[in-house]
């Protein structure tokens, strides 16, 4: 019985990975990141004084993908000089309705903001940003999801340009910091 469980988990992982590989080839994946320059309207309000947003999709209760990814985002944010921090916001978008997204985000950094949208808004937003999620084949409550980090540059009130997509942690702390500095020049 346990062998069957492990085979299902391996099959689910391979399926999820097979979805990501074609996506990465379509968007021109090189060096763990891609420049997309797509216009994006955010389905939530943001601080209009911030020029850039780092955005991450995950879920409250995730135990294996989100913590290391968000910890790396915390390292990126922590290494920014104050003059850059004043212009950058970090958002964690909860891909499920359960849990307190804001409290979860603030666990990693007090400056991070957590957002929970309706299921339909979440799926539409994820689709726009080339992200996906899938329930686990087993009944263990896990949700497989992309661990992309997005760098968005403000155009106006709630419209942004998706400047860079970094896939799968580690994102490269210095690379992301340099990209932030370039965007803010």
Question: What are the residues facing 151 on neighbouring strands?
Answer: 54, 164
- Tell me which H or E stretch contains 176: helix 173-183
pLDDT, one tens digit per residue, over 19-55 is 444 444 344 444 556 667 789 999 999 999 999 999 9
Scored b (16 or more CB within 10 A) or e, 88-110 reads bbbbbbbbbeeeebbebbebbbe
pLDDT, one tens digit per residue, over 60-116 is 988 888 999 999 999 999 999 999 999 999 999 999 989 999 999 999 999 999 999
Q: Which pLDDT band, with edges at 50, 70 and 90, does 139 fall under?
A: low
- Residue 141: what pLDDT? 67
Look at residue 143 and tell me whether its pLDDT is greater than 90.
no
Residue 115's φ and ψ, nearest 5 degrees, are -130, 135
Look at residue 166 and tell me whether its pLDDT is greater than 50.
yes
Residue 88's φ and ψ, nearest 5 degrees, are -125, 130
Look at residue 8 and tell me whether its pLDDT is greater than 70.
no
Look at residue 133 and tell me whether its pLDDT is greater than 90.
no
pTM, two decimals, is: 0.79
More confident residue, 19 or 143: 143
- Residue 35: what pLDDT? 65
More confident residue, 153 or 26: 153
Q: Which pLDDT band, with edges at 50, 70 and 90, does 12 fall under?
A: low
- Residue 168: what pLDDT? 75
**Strand pairing report for 52-58 and 88-94:** parallel
Q: Which pLDDT band, with edges at 50, 70 and 90, does 145 fall under?
A: confident
More confident residue, 171 or 27: 171
């Amino acid at each position: 019985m346990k062998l069957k469980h492990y085979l299902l988990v391996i099959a689910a992982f391979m399926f999820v990975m097979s979805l990501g590989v074609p996506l990465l080839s379509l968007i021109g994946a090189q060096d763990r990141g891609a420049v997309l320059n797509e216009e994006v309207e955010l389905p939530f309000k943001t601080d209009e004084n911030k020029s850039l947003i780092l955005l991450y999709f995950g879920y409250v209760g995730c135990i294996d993908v989100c913590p290391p990814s968000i910890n790396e985002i915390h390292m990126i944010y922590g290494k920014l000089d104050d003059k850059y921090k004043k212009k950058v916001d970090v958002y964690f978008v909860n891909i499920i309705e359960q849990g307190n997204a804001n409290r979860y985000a603030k666990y990693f950094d007090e400056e991070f903001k957590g957002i929970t949208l309706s299921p339909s808004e979440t799926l539409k937003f994820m689709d726009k940003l080339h992200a996906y999620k899938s329930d686990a084949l087993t009944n263990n409550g896990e949700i497989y999801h992309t661990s992309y980090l997005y760098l968005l540059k403000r155009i106006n009130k709630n419209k942004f340009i998706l400047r860079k997509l970094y896939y799968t942690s580690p994102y490269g702390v210095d690379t992301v910091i340099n990209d932030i500095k370039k965007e803010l020049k």
